[in-house]
Structure 1
């Protein structure tokens, strides 16, 4: 309701200025959009014959470039992961308490308890089978 009150209290010239500004901005963006589309169509019309002529060279070159870039990015990612893991292990071993160390410790304790239970159970079963 307060919003309606604001619209009715604004002078008519203020609303006209807003409308003219919006129309000008919209028209400018429409012109820029159409110029961009026209430029893209013209560039594509000029470049298409060149792409057809040079495609035996361009396609393998693009594939090779894509494979090289993919290899470098993957190698870098694995390198960062390795450094992160080695840093975490170093902090864990030196006692600096890295993130999730508590979870690793509790999981290790649970695993050790289960292994001990399995060993005891196996000893009971083999002892029962031997007698």
Structure 2
């Protein structure tokens, strides 16, 4: 009798829907309803607000521009203040020998500038007399 009961249960379970068979259409119906409601709400807002925006645009555009310039100015002043603070802090640490991040690159750049200046000075000493002599040949009375 137990086997007969198992056979009946297996036949019943064959007709019971699986969870993905239930959840897929439910998710589709829920998301479709939300999209439909949002579309209707958007249409109503557009129909109501567009005439109001058109009527108030001579006031809203200058106010918006003024707010934009004010907020952008405040953000830029704050950002430049932070940059100045961190720059002075970095310079203070560099001068005091604490070796902040990037100081090795600054040292290397300074060394390259000094080396280039010394090479240019040597080149000028070497070829300066040559050019001075050529100038006397070109204009003997000068």
TM-score category (smaller protein): 0.7 to 0.9
**Aligned residue number for residue 102 of structure 1:** 104
- Report the secondary structure of 1:86's partner residue: helix
* Root-mean-square deviation over aligned CA pairs: 2.1
C-alpha distance in 2, partners of 1:48/1:75?
Answer: 36
Aligned with 1:99: secondary structure?
coil
TM-score (norm 2): 0.75
Distance 1:89 1:13 in 2: 77
Cα offset for 1:111? 1.2
- Return the TM-score normalized by structure 1: 0.81
Question: CA 1:114/1:15 → structure 2, altered by over 3 Å: closer, same or farther?
Answer: farther
Deviation by residue 1:14-37 (Cα, 9 ceiling, x = unmatched): 972112112212321221111111
Aligned length: 121
Distance 1:108 1:14, change over 3 A: farther
Partner of 1:43: 45
How much does 1:13 deviate? 7.4
Q: How does 1:84-103 map to 2 (within 5 A)?
A: 84-103=86-105
Matches within 5 A, 1:1-131: 16-129=18-131
Unaligned segments of structure 1, at least 5 residues: 1-10
For 2:68 and 2:24, locate their aligned partners in 1 and report how far apart those are by CA, in whole Å: 44
SS of equivalent residue, structure 2 residue 59: helix
Change (3 A) 1:43 1:128: same
d(CA) in 2 for partners of 1:111 and 1:55?
58
Cα separation, 2, equivalents of 1:112 and 1:14: 86
